[in-house]
Amino acid sequence: MLTIRRKTLEKAFNTLCYLLAGILIMLVGVHKYKEICVDDIAPTTVAAEFVRVVDGDTIVVILDGEEQTVRLIGINAPESVHPDESRNTPEGHAASDYVSELLAGIDEVYLEFDQEKIDAYDRLLAYVYYYDEDELIMLNKKILDEGYAVPLSIAPNTRYAKLFN
């Protein structure tokens, strides 16, 4: 008789979720498939209407008919719109411009939430995805990879912390 331990089944299930999510995203795109299995949690990835860029790590979307400010999880870009003008930097303006260029012509983005959904400033906290032609891009990682932000890991929203560092 073959005995399979629970952890082995859980790992197999998670692997299957990753595989199926990848296949579904490739075949039908995030437009039709909104749930992605990650670890033991099945976070919901939701479509939102992109409105505008606030700065290098913050955007505005319309979600469920309501305008929402979204702070990108896992990164920190230099200041460009701080009320204290002395804190705004040329690097912050460059980051903001870069994100504006990336999202030019984008109507829809996809928000993936982690453990905490809202921060102390009442902003949504999310990993943001968008399509560049047929390629799905994580905005947070793209900004980081291009040097317009630095990693910022704040527990409990650390799902991709290893990817960002």
Q: How far is CA 70 from CA 5, 32, 92, in A?
A: 41, 22, 17
* 75: region left, alpha or beta (phi > 0 left; psi from -120 to 50 alpha): beta
Instruction: Decide if 67 is catalytic.
Output: no
Residue 148 CA to residue 157 CA, distance in Å, equals 21
- Which of the residues 5, 6, 67, 71 is marked catalytic? 71
- Which of the residues 52, 123, 133, 159 is marked catalytic? 123
Q: How far is CA 113 from CA 100, 118, 125, in A?
A: 22, 9, 7
Residue 77 Cα to chain centre, angstroms: 15
Instruction: Decide if 71 is catalytic.
Output: yes
**How many residues in total does the chain contain?**
165
CB 89 within 8 A of CB 78: yes
Beta bridge partners of 72: 126
- Which of the residues 52, 66, 67, 79 is marked catalytic? 79
Q: Provide the annotated active-site residues.
A: 71, 79, 123
